[in-house]
Structure 1
Amino acid sequence: MSSIVTRARLGSAPDSWGVWMPDSPLQTTSTRYLDEIAQAGYRYMELGPYGFLPSDPARLADELAQRDLRVSAGTVGGAFHRAEELSAITKDALDVARLAAAVGATYLVLLPAMYRDLLSGELVEGRQLDEDGFAQLVRATEEVARVVREETGLRSVFHPHADSHVETQQQTYKWLEATDPQVVGLCLDTGHIEYCGGDSAEIIRRYPQRVEYIHFKQVDPAKMSVVRDKDLGFYDAVQLGAICEPPGGVPTAESITREMWRLDPEIFVIVEQDMYPCHPDAPFPIALRTASYLRGARLAR
């Protein structure tokens, strides 16, 4: 079946260049990111944190055209489980979606808030939502998806994330069962699912009609044992090297390739290797090797 998957569209994201913030002295510049993602052979990319790349659509379109780059999606995060946050999340989502739509994107990726402080790893709320909280998260993701579609035409996909209230395979299934497939799809991030002990290939087998967008990353099983034993937060896990360069971890590209025949043959496969912070010279050679590896594994073209 793997011979079918030659039309999936391979891209990457600022995340793979160590970019987590709109602006940080620990990050590479937006110009260098754009130059290097194009030089690495990727033709598709995400916008990353709003404000990292130019927010003026004409200027951004010009920067992309100079490098023959195309945008697959924008991303926005928020505490969807808190009703009082919905208005602010919707505004942020529309800001990102309008920019993404103006430069030809197809999707908006919705990220749930983390229950730990991103940098310190300290718990800022409970690890589990009660039923009311989970129901609110579902309502809010659907509401934001509807507004974004009506106002910008972008399709929204929800991204389960480590240290969030939808992080495990079972929590992902629960979200899928509770949401309307006509309203919102799933962004399957292979690294975050495996980070939490899940099986990304099994999610594709069970819910192929819901997997509309893929973030590909791998985790190092040995280092993930340390993360679990020490109950490390995501930032510390990244510093440890738990999110590793392919093909050094799981899931393998081949395990995903075997299931890709079930999905849209032109699905976006966006590489995300969390590297914040990193030396500015580190991402480019990794990006070159990763693109070559994934094409060799026939995961995408």
Structure 2
Amino acid sequence: MAASKAINPDPRYSKLTIGVCPDQWGVWFPYDDKQVAWDKALEEMATAGFSVMETGPHGYFPTNPRLLKAVMDEYGFKVVAGTGWGILHKAEAWADTEAFFRSIGETHAAIGSEYVVHLPPMYRDEKTGDYTDDKVLSTEAWNLYIKNADKLGRIMKEDYGLKMVLHPHGDSHIETEDDIDRVFQATDPEYVGFCLDTGHIVYGGGDPMAIARKYPERIEYVHIKAMDPVIVKKAHDEDWPFVKANLSGASVAPPAGLPEMRELIETLADLDKELYVICEQDMYGCAKDYPLQNAIDTREYLASLGLGVL
């Protein structure tokens, strides 16, 4: 871990390093006029008291490593991870996925990052909610998903020195606890880690604390966020696409929603391992003046529970 890590006076929490990514500012895409401009978001992230960064959608921040490092240095950020969507279950998509992740790897290895977060492609469009893929993968497609996850993780590790972590997500093929169990049982832990996204696990009907306790050795990275259980239940009962759930306010700022943050942070501390814990809140389409104070409030609340410092 880096020297920029915030040191909590209680050593129980000293291995947990809080960070931020563009999702906390409502950013889902490299370019979108509904989103805060990257330079404005970066300035506000620093103002909110963060110093550890996951860069989010590749292309939102500069991808030239010299420029990326310069702008992050200007605001006092250490970049610990890059992020990318990539199709793994279709043979014809492999070349594009590999090329895209190599681009992420080249940028982030050059500036000393440690992780790359693999976001599974959603089976419903992120803006329209229309189905774009099968909701349930065939056995053949799932087996290819696992094979290519291992393959991509090996490339990231051997060619770029980055550990790839798979990320669960609403409206994706890694959503429920059963999906996550299958991933852990099938993937090679040397090349494939797991990003414990607490909000998306709740959205998928799971318990992030139970998963962390069941698979402590596989939890290598964390996205900390909360979901409103009432809206989540309505979304599933009425088969909403995730984009509708997002626009309906499913993702909320703690202490609202689930998981209960005190129990979650205690569970993470119990793992007794170095972890980056990255703040997120899915709110694409939010007012551009909303994220700053919301992020300040979230960071300060989490600090009151031992994650980071006030």
Whether these two folds match at TM > 0.5 is: yes
Give the match for residue 116 of structure 2: 108
Amino acid at match of 1:6: S
* Deviation at residue 114 of structure 1 after TM alignment: 0.8
Q: After superposition, give the CA deviation of every residue in 1:20-42 in whole Å (9 maximum; x if it has no partner).
A: 11111111111111111111111
Give the match for residue 231 of structure 2: 223
1:58 aligned onto 2:66: yes
Q: In the alignment, which of 60, 73, 91 is matched to residue 99 of structure 2?
A: 91
Whole-angstrom distance in 1 between the partners of 2:308 and 2:293: 19
Using the TM superposition, name which of 74-83 and 210-219 deviates more.
74-83
Q: Secondary structure at the match of 1:138?
A: helix
Q: In the alignment, which of 167, 180, 188 is matched to residue 180 of structure 1?
A: 188
Amino acid at match of 1:287: A
Q: In the alignment, which of 30, 35, 41 is matched to residue 38 of structure 2?
A: 30
Judged with a 3 Å threshold, the aligned counterparts in structure 2 of structure 1 residues 139 and 288 are, in CA distance, closer, same or farther, namely same
1:67 aligned onto 2:78: no
Structure-to-structure mapping, 1:15-26, within 5 angstroms: 15-26=23-34
Whole-angstrom distance in 2 between the partners of 1:92 and 1:81: 16
* Deviation at residue 3 of structure 1 after TM alignment: 6.4
* Deviation at residue 297 of structure 1 after TM alignment: 1.2
* Deviation at residue 247 of structure 1 after TM alignment: 1.0
Any gaps of 5 or more consecutive residues in structure 2? 1-9
* Deviation at residue 248 of structure 1 after TM alignment: 0.6
Whole-angstrom distance in 1 between the partners of 2:68 and 2:102: 17
Give the match for residue 3 of structure 2: none
* Deviation at residue 264 of structure 1 after TM alignment: 5.0
Q: Secondary structure at the match of 2:286?
A: coil
Structure with greater contact order relative to length (CA < 8 Å, sep ≥ 6): 1
1:285 aligned onto 2:302: no
Any conservation in 1 of the 2:15–2:272 contact (CA below 8 Å)? Answer: no
Give the match for residue 274 of structure 1: 282
Structure-to-structure mapping, 1:77-88, within 5 angstroms: 77-88=85-96
Whole-angstrom distance in 2 between the partners of 1:53 and 1:15: 13
Any conservation in 1 of the 2:16–2:269 contact (CA below 8 Å)? Answer: no
CA RMSD of aligned residues (A): 1.4
Q: Secondary structure at the match of 2:183?
A: helix
Any conservation in 2 of the 1:6–1:265 contact (CA below 8 Å)? Answer: no
Whole-angstrom distance in 1 between the partners of 2:181 and 2:294: 33
1:163 aligned onto 2:161: no
Q: How many residues align?
A: 300
Amino acid at match of 2:144: Q
The runs of 4+ residues in structure 1 deviating greater than 6 Å are none
Amino acid at match of 1:228: H
Using the TM superposition, name which of 222-231 and 239-248 deviates more.
222-231
Q: Secondary structure at the match of 2:194?
A: strand
Any gaps of 5 or more consecutive residues in structure 1? none
Amino acid at match of 1:22: P
The alignment's TM-score, normalised by the length of structure 1, stands at 0.96
Q: After superposition, give the CA deviation of every residue in 1:80-119 in whole Å (9 maximum; x if it has no partner).
A: 1112111110110010111112222110001111111111
Judged with a 3 Å threshold, the aligned counterparts in structure 2 of structure 1 residues 13 and 239 are, in CA distance, closer, same or farther, namely same
Judged with a 3 Å threshold, the aligned counterparts in structure 2 of structure 1 residues 121 and 40 are, in CA distance, closer, same or farther, namely same
1:48 aligned onto 2:73: no
Whole-angstrom distance in 1 between the partners of 2:308 and 2:134: 38
* Deviation at residue 300 of structure 1 after TM alignment: 4.2
Percentage identity across paired residues of the two chains? 37
* Deviation at residue 288 of structure 1 after TM alignment: 0.2
Whole-angstrom distance in 1 between the partners of 2:236 and 2:24: 23
1:196 aligned onto 2:196: no
Structure-to-structure mapping, 1:245-284, within 5 angstroms: 245-284=253-292
